[in-house]
Amino acid sequence: TVALHYVYNTPHDRLVWDVGHQCYAHKILTGRKDKMSRLRMWEGLAGFPTRLEGEYDHFGVAHSSTSISAAHAMAEAARLQGIDRQVVAIIGDGAMSAGMAFEAMNNAGNRDTNMLVILNDNDMSISEPVGALNTYLARLLASRSYQYVRRVGESVLSRMNLDRFGARWEEHLKGMVMPGTLFEEFGFNYIGPIDGHDVTQLVETLHRVKALKGPQLLHVMSKKGKGYAKAEADPILYHGVGVFDPAQGIVAKSNAVASKPTYSEIFGQWLCDQAEADPRLVAITPAMREGSGMVAFSKRFPERYWDVGIAEQHSVTFAAGLATEGLKPVVAIYSTFLQRAYDQLIHDVALQNLPVVFAIDRAGQVGADGATHAGSFDISYLRCIPNMVVMTPSDESECRQALSTAYALDVPTAVRYPRGAGTGVAATQALNTLPTLPLGKAVRKRQGSKVAILAFGPLLHTVSALAETLDASLVDMRFVKPLDTALLTELASEHTHFITLEENVVAGGAGSAVLEFFAHSGIQVNTLILGFPDAYIEQGDSKLQMQAASLSAAQIDARVHAWLAQHV
């Protein structure tokens, strides 16, 4: 980052970061040093590059593998507008496992675009990197003979001043030592690998590359966590952290906190138990083993576990292929990342009505990662798909039962659950049992009169006191699709006012599904839909995010009382 800002004329020249976890030095060097104490906090700096923060962040990122596409476009725009501008994309080896990166390289190489791609190869993504590309890069680094022959060849040919002959000869040399140089087949001039921590060498190399025309790829080797021994020793643990004492490092959770399992841990335990019960179960993750709670499964059932890398589209179609052969795939994926595989979800899974279970983690607000990682839309984009079953458990115990229900069905299913721990409710069933829920059936938690509160997910517990205050019926809906229409009809005969709650955007969400049913059935009731607004909510503490959405307990109470005052 230091070398890039030293060599290039930023912000006139464009630096496009991939994902952006590595952008903190960039933010410090571009006028935001004094704001770093508020990084990833409410009304502070975002954890990723964002155009809202100023002229040095040219493209908003956070999902992987977009940088080459964006940089290619910026280089083409400069060409069209006659602007003398350098454009650089900085992408990690983990992000190179996504097809989008190669789609962009294929296009840029064919167009002979003036741009530089820096491949920051630290042999890491979030989990360990996987796939043939990672193996290829490792071989390339280890091949000293390749580097030696190339250096000698370049030296001899430059003295002979045989440029055209030299270019052809170098191509053949590389073919002998390292057959099929991947990036050059895409039309990029490959340079490297070089030490990503040697600033002097980087500056010298970047000055040379800057003078070259056409698409260039600079292969840089680095170490994740370099300079901080604890992070170097455990780059996965230190991938995304909160506040901690650098001298002490990250401290393990206390027993009190550890006794309250996260939803991801609930899923991981269920996955192992279900796998013990059914040898057909196979599990897939797109590079999120740790975050999704799959470490234990990957160790206990390695032959039935696939980490496909940062390749969400592939993960979904891969699951579909497994399902066609009689296996029972479970795809563990974050809500925000499933968005990247929407066509595959519809075309490859749902259209063929294949029994794939989607365990959708990080539904709702996610805290410090902010809007780019929030699971705000999955109810809306899932419930419109034919053949899908969509479940919204309200606590950890119900989450386990919902997962068992999804697995038992012979259709595409989705179970969405939030980040972090739930209510602390222990699973009511023994861990070696796998009870299911009746398909499409809600459950009344409280019988009241006049007002019915329909909760889709953990907000059920936020409004339990409100239901008591209003003498309202409180219903744990559990299913968005299929809805419990029989219960809704029954409730409509007993109540005049309905309130729906969900951690999803109001547009097209669970509340909309309830309204659609009432409208189609000719049932006339007053309905208040509460969920996320038609806006992106910035990074910060999850409680502050819920307040921004007007979904804290106090805010819901006030909104409901104000609405009832107008409609009773």
Task: Say if CB 375 and CB 339 are below 8 A apart.
Answer: no
Whether 494 is a known active-site residue: answer: no
Residue 112 CB-density burial (10 A; 0-12 exposed, 13-18 middle, 19+ buried): exposed
Alpha carbon of 57 to those of 20, 31, 40, 68, 444: distances in Å? 10, 12, 16, 15, 50
Alpha carbon of 506 to those of 105, 108, 187, 425: distances in Å? 38, 40, 46, 28
Whether 312 is a known active-site residue: answer: yes
Task: Say if CB 381 and CB 339 are below 8 A apart.
Answer: yes
Cα 113 to Cα 71: distance, rounded to the nearest angstrom: 10
Vertex 432: Cα angle to 429 and 437 (nearest 5): 45
Cα 236 to Cα 151: distance, rounded to the nearest angstrom: 36
Catalytic residue selected from 14, 32, 328, 340:
340
Q: Which residues of 171-188 are buried (b: 16+ CB within 10 A; e: fewer)?
A: eebbeebbeebbbbebbb
Vertex 535: Cα angle to 533 and 539 (nearest 5): 105
Cα 216 to Cα 204: distance, rounded to the nearest angstrom: 15
Cα 526 to Cα 122: distance, rounded to the nearest angstrom: 57
Cα 313 to Cα 345: distance, rounded to the nearest angstrom: 8
Catalytic residue selected from 14, 40, 224, 416:
224
Task: Say if CB 401 and CB 275 are below 8 A apart.
Answer: no
Task: Say if CB 480 and CB 379 are below 8 A apart.
Answer: yes
Closest CA to 50 of 32, 62, 38, 40: 62
Cα 207 to Cα 445: distance, rounded to the nearest angstrom: 68
Helix (H) / strand (E) element for 463: namely none
Whether 340 is a known active-site residue: answer: yes
Closest CA to 498 of 467, 461, 464: 467
Q: Rg (Cα) of the chain, in Å, rounded?
A: 27
Catalytic residue selected from 27, 289, 312, 396:
312
The length of the chain in residues reads 568
Task: Say if CB 453 and CB 564 are below 8 A apart.
Answer: no
What are the catalytic residues? 224, 312, 340
